[in-house]
Amino acid sequence: MTDNQTFKDKVVVITGGSGGVGRATAWEFAKQGAKVVVLARGQEQLDGTKKEIEQYGGKALCIPTDVANPDAVEAAAEQAEREFGPIDVWINNAMNSVFAPFKEIKPEEFKRVTEVTYLGQVYGTMSALKRMLPRNKGVIIFVGSALAYRGIPLQSAYCGSKHGIQGLFDSLRTELMHDKTNVKICMVQLPAMNTTQFGWVLSKLPNKPRPMGKVYQPEVAAKAIVFAAANPRREVWVGYPTYEAIIGNKIAPWYADWVLSRTGFKGQQTNQKASPNRKNNVWEPVPEDRGAHGNFKDISHNKSFTLWAGMHRTAMRIAAGAAVIGLIALLGGNKD
C-alpha cells in the first residue's frame, strides 16, 4: 500500500498526462507532494494540468512532447532531470486510436496509432532505462488494457498496439530479472474508462463513440497506477470486466469472438449521430482543454471492489482462511 508521503519530492514522468487517466494520475501523485513531469502535445491541456498539479500540492513541469518522436521523448527526459532531478517513476500512458472497421482504416492512420500507443511506450521505456539502470533503481509503469489480451472490433490499431505492449513487457521483464537489477516494471490493465478520448478519437462510425461495457472514472485507474508504482507487481488488473475479459479469453476465446461479433459494433456507439465536422487528435492536438473526464459520468463507477481486493491481498487471504476455518468448524460441529 501507499501512504500520503510515499512519493513526496519524487520525480514522476507521465506521458499523455494532460487528459483522462494520465491527468487523474498526475493529481494523485501531486497530492503526495511529488514533482510531476507531464509530457503531451496540447499546450492548453498542459497549462490546465499544471495548474491542477500545483493546486493539489505538487510541483509541475509540463513539456510539449509527441511521444511518437524518440528524439522528443529523450529531450523531455533530459529536461526533466535537469530541472527536477533523477527520475524515480516513469509512466507510459499516452495513447491514440481510430474507431473504424479495419477495412476503412488508412495505412497512415494505422501507423500513427501504432507509433503513439505502442512505440510511444517503447521510446519512453528506453529513455527511462537509460537513466535508471546506471542508478540501479526506479519504476516503469506500462498502462495497458484488457484489450492487450482480448481484441475487440472497431479498434484494431489500438488493440494491436496494446498486444504489442504486452509482448514488450514480458520480454523486458525477463531481461531485467536476468540482469538482477533493482529497476522494476509493472503493467496496469484497465477496463473501459470515462475519459476524453471518446470525444477526440478519430472515428469513422455513423454514431458517436462510447466506452463499451462497465465504465469507470479515471480516478480508479489513477489509484491503481500509483499503487503499482509503490508496489511494482508483475501486473495490476483494474475492475471486474478486466478479469472477465482476460480470464474468459484464455478459457474460451471462440465464445468471446461470437459475443463481440454481435455486440461489439453497437456497444461502442451511442444513439447520437456523429458530426461530419468532428475534430480529432490523431495528427494534431485538439486546441482546447476538456479536463480528465468524458461525457459518461452517469454510467461510470467511482470504485472497484476487485481493485481494492487486489491492493489488499494479505487481508483477503486472512479473511478467506478465517472463512474456511469457520466453515470447517461449523461442519464439524454439525456432526455432533
Mean residue pLDDT of the chain comes to 92
Q: Percentages helix, strand, coil for the chain, rounded to the nearest 5? A: 50, 15, 30
Instruction: Kindly state whether residue 113 falls inside one of the protein's structural domains.
Output: yes
- Residue 104 CA to residue 110 CA, distance in Å, equals 10
∠ CA 144-187-136, nearest 5°, is: 140
Give the CATH number, domain containing residue 114.
Answer: 3.40.50.720
CB contact set of 41 (below 8 Å; sequence gap of 6+): 64, 65, 66, 281, 284, 285
Domain assignment present for residue 3? The answer is no
Q: pTM here?
A: 0.91
As a whole number of angstroms, the distance between CA 95 and CA 292 comes to 14
What digits encode the pLDDT tens for the residues 119-163?
Answer: 999 999 999 999 999 999 999 999 999 999 999 999 999 999 999
**215 part of a folded domain:** yes
List the alpha helices (DSSP H) in the chain: 20-31, 43-55, 70-84, 107-114, 120-135, 156-179, 197-200, 218-230, 240-251, 253-263, 305-311, 313-335
Q: Cell numbers of 40, please?
A: 503531451
* Tens-digit pLDDT profile for residues 14-68: 999 999 999 999 999 999 999 999 999 999 999 999 999 999 999 999 999 999 9
Task: Indicate whether 125 belongs to any domain.
Answer: yes
Residue 331 lies in a domain: no
Tell me, yes or no, whether 329 lies in a domain.
no
Beta bridge partners of 99: 203
Catalytic residue among 118, 149, 158, 216: 158
Cα angle 91-118-73, degrees, rounded to a multiple of 5: 55
- Structure confidence by residue, pLDDT tens digits, 102-122: 999 999 999 999 999 999 999
Number of domains in the chain: 1
In 3D, which of 308, 312, 172 has the Cα closest to residue 239? 308
The residue-averaged pLDDT of 299-314 equals: 81
Tens digits of per-residue pLDDT, 200-229? 899 999 999 999 999 999 999 999 999 999
The fraction of the chain above a pLDDT of 70, given in percent, is 92
Structural domain for 190, as ranges: 11-303
Q: Does 213 reside within a domain?
A: yes
Is residue 326 in a domain?
no
Question: Active site includes 158?
Answer: yes
Nearest Cα residue to 110 out of 145, 73, 160:
160
